[in-house]
Structure 1
Amino acid sequence: MTTALKEWSAAVHALLQGRQTVLLRKGGIHEKRFAVAAEQFLLFPTVAHSHAERVRPEHRDLLAGAEPDSTDDHVVIRAAAKVVAAVAVSDPQGLSDIEDLHIWTAGSVQADRLDFRPRHELTVLVVQAFPLAAPIRLDRVPSYGGCTSWVQLPATAAVGAPVYDAAALAGVAARVRAAVA
């Protein structure tokens, strides 16, 4: 079994295309808080029809290509990631300074990350994304459901070259810390 982080399919595609380098996490309804379960993990794609209004207009082109990766019957795993930094948000106002590092609208960050479970800490994960050497198609099973951050998958994968190198992401991590820590 391999650990996978559930993430919007459009965000997975954005990571693979170099349009995104951070994930904003608070944990699912069934979690007391978000915790990094693995330093390296697969990215498990999720889709909701409401994602379109939550993605900035210049990134909405990602939605059509990402939607088939997560259906009622199957999921297609295309990426893995490695945690470069996990930064607790002490200054939510600083999130506007890093909006170019992700695809979400300011309204989505506010409603889906800050206002959702307001007493829970928001974490900015700086991640190094890797395309899989070959996508993995898995039948959707009940254990993949629920509002949790992490899922265990019966799959292993070879990865390709990282989208960004470690030095570039070290700079992103420093920028995130300066903005929100």
Structure 2
Amino acid sequence: MKGGVEPTSAGYKEWDVVCQALAAGRQHILLRKGGIHEGRKGFSFKHERFYLFPTRFHAQGEQVRKSFGNFAPEGAGEWEEGDEILVQWWCEASWACTLTDWQDVAALEPFHIWTEELVRERYDCGEVQRIHCALVRVFALRVPLKLSYKKKYGGCRTWVDLPFPPPGDPAPVVPHDEFAKVRAEVEQVLGS
């Protein structure tokens, strides 16, 4: 630490249910339209490496496909100031792009747990039909980090600054060969 400045890293706010699916190797992409507090330029995957910051709200389980409802925490309300949050995963984005063709977005269904209705709603939201997509490799922290929830982590924004340095040696949640296969499948679907 130089000059008394704490090291920080980016945190990507995502539903707890999605974080669980990513950690289980069941989801491999992030789809984001952007929150109302993303600023004038809107949302972008501006960080290639980041912690997953789990968010909660009561209806998460209803917005994922039924076969993945087991990832949804039961009775979990929104975080309240002072609640302890476990930050358990680190992500590396292999690539990010903006999708403007609904057929491409719909074809990604095998790689995420959201309902088609939710993804379509996000895609259609705003003046331009589009959604941002990133293929991510997820790593489990050897020791989860604990964080006390503060109001500054709330609101409709994707990125938050977390008071942690990047992790030293996280473990991939899926083996390299399996992730390479998923990457090839996603890129084939998108014609990349």
Q: TM-score, normalised by structure 1?
A: 0.88
What letter is aligned with 2:72? L
Unaligned runs of 5+ in 2: 1-7
SS of the aligned residue for 2:143 comes to: strand
Residue 173 of structure 1 and its aligned partner are, at CA, apart by 4.1
Structure number with the higher helix fraction is 1
Match of 1:38 in 2: 47
| 1:156-171 to 2 correspondences below 5 Å | 156=165, 157-164=167-174, 165=176, 167-171=180-184
Output aligned runs, 1:1-181, within 5 Å.
1-31=8-38, 32-64=41-73, 67=76, 71-72=79-80, 73-111=83-121, 113-119=122-128, 121-156=130-165, 157-164=167-174, 165=176, 167-178=180-191
CA contact (8 A) 1:21 1:102 kept: yes
Alpha-carbon distance, 1:52 to partner: 1.6
- Whole-angstrom distance in 2 between the partners of 1:48 and 1:176: 32
> Identity of paired residues, percent?
33
Gaps of 5+ in 1: none
Check conservation: 2:90, 2:170, Cα contact below 8 A: no
Distance change (3 Å), C-alpha of 1:65 and 1:98 = same
> What code does the residue aligned with 2:187 have?
A
* 1:172 to partner: Cα distance: 3.9
User: What is the deviation of 1:65?
Assistant: 7.2
CA RMSD of aligned residues (A): 2.2
Q: 1:120 to 1:147 in 2, by over 3 A?
A: farther
Secondary structure at the counterpart of residue 60 of structure 1: helix
Residues 145-172 of structure 1 show CA distances to partners (whole Å, capped at 9, x for unaligned) of: 1111100011133443212325234314
Question: What code does the residue aligned with 1:13 have?
Answer: Q
Normalised by the size of structure 2, how large is the TM-score? 0.83
Of 88-97 and 15-24, deviating more is 88-97
Asked if the contact 2:124–2:130 (Cα under 8 Å) also holds between the matched residues in 1, the reply is no
Greater gyration radius = 2
Cα distance in 1, alignment partners of residues 113 and 168 from structure 2 = 27
How far the C-alpha of 1:101 sits from its partner, in A, is 0.3
* Structure 1 counterpart of 2:5: none
Which amino acid letter does the alignment assign opposite residue 14 of structure 1?
A
Amino acid at match of 1:126: L
> How many residues of Structure 1 are paired with residues of Structure 2 in the alignment?
177
